[in-house]
A and B are shown apart, each in its own frame.
Chain A
Amino acid sequence: MAENAQQQDWNAITDEEFRRAAADFFATHVPQHLRHLSRRPRWAEVKEWYLTMSRHGWLVPAWPKEWGGMGLSQSKSLVYLEELERSGAPRVMDQGLMNIGPLLIARGTDEQRKRFLPKILSGEHTWCQGYSEPNAGSDLASLRTEAVIDGDEFVINGSKIWTSVAFDASHMFALVRTDKTVKKQAGISFVLIDMNQPGVTVRPIRNIAGHEELCEVFLDNVRTPLANLVGELNKGWDVAKALLGFERIWSGSPRQSTLALLRLEQLARANGKMDDPAFVDKYTQVTMDVLDSASAYEHFAQIMRTGGSFGFEVSMLKIWATETCQRVTELMVEAAGDLGTLSGEVDVQGELVDVLYPFLDCRAFTIYGGSSQVQRNILAKNVLELPS
């Protein structure tokens, strides 16, 4: 479909029709060699694909049409992500698409929108997120990277950690401390930083799954114009909270555990475990856990579809989906027996299976995006109304 997606009114068709259109687009355009990669690719590898999406108007599903987006409703945005995932498309530099783009549209100035949004569409700017710090993880509000005003610029000193793909980012959006005298959330500002300047040092961090995706970013007297402040000074905490509600649904989607389940089934058929009643009982349990995860996810997706809203109860999704995914991969390691001690793809009766990678990879799922413990705190305080 060469016709630019911008001209279509996607919300006028049903979700199912849109799902077909999205599946079609991805099937046609995702480069074969980039499908179903087991690792996150570098920007250089996916830039061409990114630009293809941009050219066809399929890059930014949730942005309004006036800013170059598809203008999709929240529920169709979910469909877009689901089909993108299903197609095996590689992950691109998506912080601009999913986070800072929508944030500038919602909370930025017109000048900021004009300055930054087109460059996201053109791929000239790529973004990373500077939130967590070595001393500020779950307790993000205690962050210490400081920004001091010097003339018409901020001078920033500190460091960020767990910043995904910072090495491929031209820009960072960051939460920085601009007032040390007030309550911690009340002294935080949201700023945009050009990464291409002296004083910015990126150090990739190798994770236990063997990938270097996360980074530490050191900021030594890094400068950014006051015009790069998003929202008001010291009101950055609220700005950061304004990001899309469907991120909370998306992080609780059953997609990862479904994929893990398929791999588990593949292994169990290859090594004969499917004939072991004890294994089948455990396998059936995790299968039902995944299916119920999907039912719960659909419940919230349906609320979005019908234009409703939901509150903090959505936190249950991430807890269940991510912990279920871990249980599936744990069962896979168990079912693999000795083969579960080997790293990389191993031959299981002619089938190539990587047992350890899914297991190691998903240890992070219950940690990032609000750890399982934080999600439980959220439920306890806001949904169950338990006292602090």
Chain B
Amino acid sequence: MQATSTTEAAEQTQMLRESAADFVRGSTDMKKLRERRGTLPGYEPGLLRQMAELGWLGILVAEDHGGLGLGFAEMAVVLEELGKGLLGEPLASTVLAARLLQHGANEDLKARLLPGLVDASALPCVAWQEGLGGLDISDIQTTARQDGESVVLDGTKRFVAGAAGAAGFIVSARGAQGLGLYWVDAKAEGVSLRHEWRADETPSGVLELKGMRVQLQDMLCPQGAQAAAALERAVDEAAVMASAEMLGVMEAALQMALGYMRTRVQFGKPIGSFQALQHKAADLYVQQELARAVLDDAVRELDAGSSREEQAKLASRCKSRASDAGLRVTREVIQLHGAIGYTDEYDAGLYLKRALVLSGWLGNSSAHRGRFARLTGGVVTV
């Protein structure tokens, strides 16, 4: 399935892009999106099944586990196109689960869970944050207490993306040997799930675990450095993919504004002829292109499989830029529309709200800036 030459790879990526763009043309429905707001699971299961049939959920899953075994370049173009039509949810969330499973240690567990992710029949999701959130994976209170061969989990996870409709959760918890990763079935005893609502009124899971017993076969990663490394890596990868979706969101928002500016007439002229607005639009374009350039670099780095440290730096650069640019573009797009941009009926607000969600998820700009500073110690070579 993997392309053998760069031209083949480029053609394959282009085909995926066109396929995703087609999908958006046929399936984006802002009326339905508005009706879905505040409901579970927060996406259309029918659309997700179609995406699964197209193989998209398996893009970043190895062929051994039923996936397409493609790369981040491929998933990035799909998510970018879906982002333009506000159809990124829940594909973006499944990336985190898909990658974490594959970086995990338990091969049997992977083999059990990945097929259900790929065909959307049993979606896993990841519960790695708690309390106030943040990018520090070790900042958690959920405990994993050894009890014979099994482990007992106690605690509350928060900001669980994709929790609604999930078959289960990969949970991070702290034990005597450090951070561990555990699979918890959604229907298990000791699990209770409720939801908070994100800026785009999609659900965000709050998962309470009380005396939740996890057997050996459901331990993804034993406690220690490996589990932490696996989680940090998966978060980086998903953050880059979220940045790809964000690129699509800001592209579509900017195009919406440009279209409006070309036709809206005030003072006898299209407002797009006013230099102040032209310059504002030009600045948004610059931000969009910066986000694209660093996304391309990050994707290349992830696909090249180079040093983890380089990947981490690029992931933080990428997510930081995408978060900032995405918010700025979608905010200013409202401004460029004037009052109509402020109405719920107009779509600009929907893009702003998706940008709010994406900018915060998996570390916002500020968090990644802090991380980048720590990773580089202030020494940078260009």
Q: Which residues of A contact B (CB under 8 A)?
A: 254, 258, 261, 265, 268-269, 274, 280-281, 283-285, 287-288, 290-296, 298-299, 313, 316, 319-320, 373, 375-377, 379-381, 383-388
Contact = CB atoms under 8 A, between A and B. Distances in A.
The 5 A-B residue pairs with the shortest CB-CB distance, nearest first, are: A380-B278, A376-B282, A295-B293, A386-B272, A379-B282
Contacts of A290: 380, 382
Given A280-B378, A291-B317, A285 B262 contact: no
Given A295-B297, A296-B289, A384 B378 contact: no
Given A384-B281, A387-B273, A296 B293 contact: yes
B243 to A, nearest CB: 12
Contact of A380 (B279, B297, B382): B279
Given A376-B278, A376-B283, A387-B270, A292 B378 contact: no
A280 B377 CA distance: 10
A379 B278 CA distance: 9
B210 to A, nearest CB: 38
Contacts of A320: 286, 290
Nearest to A383: B285
A288 B293 contact: no
Given A283-B378, A316-B289, 16 more contacts: A274-B378, A280-B378, A281-B369, A281-B373, A292-B294, A296-B289, A299-B296, A316-B286, A320-B286, A373-B279, A377-B275, A379-B285, A379-B286, A385-B258, A385-B262, A386-B273
Contacts of A254: 382
B114 interface: no
A386 B262 contact: yes
B336 to A, nearest CB: 11
A381 B274 CA distance: 11
B370 interface: yes
A294 B381 CA distance: 11
B372 interface: yes
Contacts of A296: 289-290, 293
Given A285-B369, A296-B289, A313-B289, A386 B281 contact: yes
Query: How big is the B interface, by class?
Result: 35 or more
Contacts of B278: 376-377, 380-381, 384, 386
30 contacts: A254-B382, A265-B378, A265-B380, A274-B378, A281-B369, A283-B373, A283-B378, A284-B378, A288-B369, A291-B380, A291-B382, A295-B294, A296-B289, A298-B297, A299-B293, A313-B289, A316-B286, A319-B282, A319-B283, A376-B278, A377-B275, A380-B282, A384-B258, A384-B278, A384-B281, A384-B282, A386-B261, A386-B277, A386-B278, A387-B269
B339 interface: no
A386 B255 CA distance: 11
Nearest to B376: A287
B290 A319 contact: no
A319 B283 CA distance: 9
B contact face: mostly helix, strand, loop, or mixed: helix
Nearest to B377: A274
B174 interface: no
A292 B378 CA distance: 16
Contacts of A269: 378
Interface in B251-293: 258, 261-262, 269-270, 272-273, 275, 277-279, 281-283, 285-286, 289-290, 292-293
A294 B369 contact: no
Nearest to B278: A380
B311 to A, nearest CB: 15
Contacts of A379: 282, 285-286
A280, A313, A316: most-surrounded residue (chain B CB, <10 A): A316
Contacts of A384: 258, 278, 281-282, 285
Interface string B349-372: 000000000000000001001101
Contacts of B366: 281
B379 interface: yes
A287, A292, A316: most-surrounded residue (chain B CB, <10 A): A292
B285 A316 contact: yes
A269 B366 CA distance: 22
Contacts of B382: 254, 258, 261, 290-291, 294
A287 B380 CA distance: 8
A284 B369 contact: yes
Nearest to B275: A377
B321 interface: yes
A86 to B, nearest CB: 11
A295, A298, A320, A377: most-surrounded residue (chain B CB, <10 A): A295
Contacts of B292: 299
